[in-house]
Amino acid sequence: GAGVSQTPSNKVTEKGKYVELRCDPISGHTALYWYRQSLGQGPEFLIYFQGTGAADDSGLPNDRFFAVRPEGSVSTLKIQRTERGDSAVYLCASSLPSGVGELFFGEGSRLTVL
C-alpha cells in the first residue's frame, strides 16, 4: 500500500470492553508512532517504536493502554476496560528511522465507547 493503513476505521464498543486497533506502516518505515486526537483538539502523543521496541511510551495515559510491534512492522494498540473518555480518533504514523524525512499519518481509527 502507498500509505499508512489503519483498521478498523470505526469501532463502537461498550464501556468495559477490550479493543485492538491495528496499524500497517509504509513499507520500509522503521519508526512508528501512535497519537490520540480528541474532538476539536490537536493530536496527543502516546507511544513510539523504533523497530520492535517501544522507544518512548511516556504518553500512554494509564496501564489500560498497551501497544506492541512484534516484528517491527505492523503495530497493535490495545485498550483494556474501555471508558467513555477513551473515545477519540487514534492516529498512527510512520517514518524512516525516527527524525529522518517526514512523518506520514494514517486516516485514523475512530473509537466510540458507549
Partner 1 sequence: QQQVKQSPQSLIVQKGGISIINCAYENTAFDYFPWYQQFPGKGPALLIAIRPDVSEKKEGRFTISFNKSAKQFSLHIMDSQPGDSATYFCAASYHSGTYKYIFGTGTRLKVLA
At residue 24, what is the residue type?
Answer: D
57 is a site residue for partner 1 (CB under 8 A): no
Q: Which residue, 36 or 82, is less far from partner 1 as judged by CB?
A: 36
Among 19, 21, 23, 31, binds partner 1 (CB under 8 A): 31
The Cα–Cα gap between 68 and 79 comes to 12
Q: C-alpha cell of 40? A: 476539536
107 is a site residue for partner 1 (CB under 8 A): yes
Among 30, 44, 73, 74, binds partner 1 (CB under 8 A): 44
Among 4, 77, 111, 113, binds partner 1 (CB under 8 A): 4
Helix and strand numbers, DSSP H then E, in the chain:
0, 11
The Cα–Cα gap between 107 and 64 comes to 23
What proportions of the chain, in percent to the nearest 5, are helix, strand and coil? 5, 50, 50
Q: Return the range that interacts with partner 1 (CB under 8 A); candidates 16-24, 51-59, 66-74, 80-88.
A: 51-59
Return residues touching partner 1 (CB under 8 A): 4, 31, 33, 40-45, 48, 55-56, 59, 91, 93, 95, 98-99, 102-108
